[in-house]
Structure 1
């Protein structure tokens, strides 16, 4: 029997690429698999350094992609629609490349990130089994619990909140139907329908979905039967030695990592401003603000005696060396804090970050505050420093390490290919 050809399709965004890369890296050592990674030139070097064979997508359109991916302000309803509309041009470019490639070199299986729609759409058109990897574990619609992207709804506490969440789920479906209708001419090539015969979203695989996160933290209910939890795997893929920050001279300080990830350029000035305010009140703490500029030469600038701004720090290498973390609520940093048992203050900005913030708060592993409210941030940080009992964090840190992602992935690959053989 020849090697199983698996093509992986992911946009070149760290928060989407790295979780799936980390999930699949153990498979690179298995001679049974021939894995190719389709992603942008921006991430080619880091992916190849991790051992992947890379096929670049969107060559010559890198600036177009960056313009669509990196919004200049927090998204609202209409700006989100404009972003989606612009994304369709990118999706169709990638789809054209995949169709051309797979007609000549057809894979046995496709794995696609949950926002990299081209991979699944083209695989479905060509009758290739495919798996969705979901770095935002709760992005999918479910039959119960709080809908996401509504500012961080938590577990319902009363009948009114149950009704509110039911309405939110209905509103989510209405907005998706509306967007699909408005974009119907540009989606016609795929024969696209927003929901399949089971009432489930067709942008995700109807065969297998891998939730890159922890079931123990989830407050949604009613996930599809083919949704499988694989645990967190969102660590950065860059090498720590390429970003040399010497922390040895700060042994007598409480070290605080501050970040808003790699996409929120519009938020970084406020992040630095809030850090300066905290630094003035807490000379015993040393703050390190990372700007999320991976792939560039490492730079470190001293803003105050106890505030340094660095171009980039790989979370996996540096979070274990920190005492506290202030972050935006991205999936990667959220779970790295849990894995390494680091206390966190979450200042959500956009996207799914409000939903991660409420999950962290309810689970007892983080505090949260509004990103521009100086007094609230200061008070929350004081509470963070004073809190002694973080038993929930320790328990979830232990649980995070109990998952067996490689077994789940290989099991799903085998199941889908076996199902395909039965149908032939």
Structure 2
């Protein structure tokens, strides 16, 4: 029995993707443990895994940490109205400052935690290098749970840009501004790498591909046409990575009991944009649809819920999406890949990070629509939803992609590749 350590970013998308792979590792008879931001230890323990805290910021109680990130996101809600280019100077800049700080803090705990666990393989799902992992002396794997363009290539859109695949003017403009704004933060990170005995990275780069194995959750049917194709010996597409959740029973609706069923979710942090979710609920109220709406920790702010809408603070998403007809989401990679995996059309209203990339990609590959987050009318939204339900071309495209992804079984494929590293 080998020990596999998973170190996901402190966000539910990467965390739950790693849970899916860890479940498959244990099904093969091995041990999976988690290196975890203190605030996420209970998440992994809830799935039955051993979890070891690694401080990614100044230590504080889990409730205070959760409040910190909630306040961080809610403080940026005005920036959600801005374009990806305009967000470089505020949301993107602030995020990279926090991410670099997290790498510095992690270096204090990681050597001791790794020495205690003695993993045979370490899988890290983050956007930044943790030198202690690279230097521990066992194979380390980079997991890319966000958009595939996290692995840069001159011919594809830069990460976080939301540019179209062939819009080179957009590519160049975004890269230039990103590098200009990020340079002081990048210089600080390179100084940190020097203290750890690591070589400096080129401007704009905060992580490298693993020499051992890199796992991309992105599905091949929507992958980019790169100038330099990724070497299949080192880069493997997982075709999504859907974890196992408890079954979900759709509640009965007093109105539109036979209407098409929608699932609406902007993720745990995006739920703070209650104004937008209330707008969507109001638009659906006067339609033929029914909807399940994820409102996160803000359920108390919703009253007079229409009879064709059901709200809850959490849904077991992989058990819900197979039962609905269409999804409205923020473009997070779990939602993006799970909709494709189950063959469900999506309307993506992005607000930050790779949601912009996934929104553009879902539309240019024919698997759904990109919609502005605020500049729409009720008629616009309902019209797009009707297209999602009625488009035969989109249904055929989604069915083909879903069949391809489900045939691959991403978690099992990932587990098999990880185990193979211990057999080399």
TM class by shorter-chain length?
A: 0.7 to 0.9
How far did residue 361 of structure 1 move? Answer: 0.8
8 Å CA contact 1:302–1:308 kept in 2: the answer is no
The number of residues matched between the two structures is 399
In 2, Cα distance between the equivalents of 1:42 and 1:245? 30
Equivalent residue for 2:362?
Answer: 360
Equivalent residue for 1:279?
Answer: 285
- The answer as to 2:249 corresponding to 1:252 is no
8 Å CA contact 2:17–2:241 kept in 1: the answer is yes
How far did residue 182 of structure 1 move? Answer: 3.9
- The answer as to 2:104 corresponding to 1:84 is no
How far did residue 392 of structure 1 move? Answer: 0.6
Equivalent residue for 2:83?
Answer: none
How far did residue 117 of structure 1 move? Answer: 4.2
CA offsets 1:182-225 (integer angstroms, 9 cap, x no match): 444444433444538xx986444232210012011012513542
In 2, Cα distance between the equivalents of 1:167 and 1:416? 43
8 Å CA contact 1:9–1:39 kept in 2: the answer is yes
How far did residue 172 of structure 1 move? Answer: 5.2
SS of 1:71's equivalent in the other structure is: helix
SS of 1:374's equivalent in the other structure is: coil
In 2, Cα distance between the equivalents of 1:67 and 1:87? 14
Distance 1:61 1:397, change over 3 A: same
Matches within 5 A, 1:90-101: 90-101=102-113
Which deviates the most, 344-353 or 381-390? 381-390
In 1, Cα distance between the equivalents of 2:353 and 2:247? 28
CA offsets 1:129-169 (integer angstroms, 9 cap, x no match): 2001111132221242222212x22231xxxx335435645
How far did residue 349 of structure 1 move? Answer: 1.3
8 Å CA contact 1:57–1:97 kept in 2: the answer is yes
- The answer as to 2:186 corresponding to 1:189 is no
8 Å CA contact 1:41–1:57 kept in 2: the answer is yes
8 Å CA contact 1:147–1:172 kept in 2: the answer is no
- The answer as to 2:19 corresponding to 1:27 is no
Equivalent residue for 2:4?
Answer: 6
8 Å CA contact 1:68–1:83 kept in 2: the answer is no
The runs of 5 or more residues in structure 1 that have no matched partner are 419-424
How far did residue 404 of structure 1 move? Answer: 4.5
Distance 1:388 1:275, change over 3 A: farther
Equivalent residue for 1:392?
Answer: 397
In 2, Cα distance between the equivalents of 1:65 and 1:417? 40
Matches within 5 A, 1:22-61: 22-31=20-29, 33-58=30-55, 60=60
Given the two structures, how large is their TM-score scaled by the length of structure 2?
0.82
In 1, Cα distance between the equivalents of 2:199 and 2:305? 52
- The answer as to 2:204 corresponding to 1:207 is no
Distance 1:337 1:149, change over 3 A: same
Q: Which of 357, 380, 385 matches 2:384?
A: 380
How far did residue 397 of structure 1 move? Answer: 0.9
In 1, Cα distance between the equivalents of 2:200 and 2:4? 26
How far did residue 279 of structure 1 move? Answer: 2.3
Distance 1:209 1:82, change over 3 A: same
Structure showing greater relative contact order (alpha-carbon pairs closer than 8 Å, 6 or more residues apart)? 2
In 1, Cα distance between the equivalents of 2:390 and 2:413? 41
How far did residue 90 of structure 1 move? Answer: 3.1
Given the two structures, how large is their TM-score scaled by the length of structure 1?
0.82
8 Å CA contact 2:295–2:314 kept in 1: the answer is yes
Q: In angstroms, what is the RMSD of aligned CA positions? A: 3.2
CA offsets 1:392-421 (integer angstroms, 9 cap, x no match): 111111111121533454335434763xxx
- The answer as to 2:157 corresponding to 1:110 is no
Equivalent residue for 1:149?
Answer: 160
In 2, Cα distance between the equivalents of 1:372 and 1:357? 15
Equivalent residue for 1:421?
Answer: none
Distance 1:92 1:326, change over 3 A: same
SS of 1:263's equivalent in the other structure is: helix
Equivalent residue for 1:67?
Answer: 68
Distance 1:378 1:228, change over 3 A: same
